[in-house]
Amino acid sequence: MKNSIVFLLLGLLVGGQAFVLWHDNASMVSRSSDAMRMIHVQPMFQGKKVVLDEQMRSQGGDPLKLNTLRFYLSNFVFLKNGAVVFEEKNSFHLLDLEDENTLDLKFDALEGRDFDGLRFKLGIDSLTHISGAMGGDLDPTKGMFWTWQSGYINFKLEGTFKKCPTRNHEFQFHLGGYLAPFQSVQSVQVKIPKGENLVLQLDLSPFFDQVDWVKKYSIMSPCKESVEVSKVLANSFSVHAE
What DSSP letter does each residue of 21-81 carry, written as one string?
HHHHHHHHHHHHHHTEEEEEEEEEETTEE--TT--EE-TT--EEEEEEEEEEEEEEEEEET
Q: Output the pTM of the full model.
A: 0.84
Q: 3-class SS at 90? A: coil
- What pLDDT does 8 receive? 44
- What pLDDT does 21 receive? 42
229 CB burial (10 A radius; 0-12, 13-18, 19+) = buried
Task: Please spell the DSSP secondary structure of 195-215, one letter per residue.
Answer: -SSEEEEEE-HHHHHHS-TTT
Residue type present at position 155: F
Q: How far is CA 147 from CA 19, 95, 138, in A?
A: 55, 20, 13
Could you say which DSSP state residue 141 is in? G
- What pLDDT does 143 receive? 94
Residue type present at position 235: N
Distance CA 94, CA 108 (A): 18
Residue numbers of the chain with a pLDDT score lower than 70: 1-36, 133
- What pLDDT does 58 receive? 93
Other Cβ atoms within 10 Å of 199 Cβ, number: 16
- What pLDDT does 36 receive? 64
Q: 3-class SS at 84? A: strand
What's the start-to-end Cα distance of the chain, in Å? 66
Distance CA 11, CA 37 (A): 41
- What pLDDT does 96 receive? 98
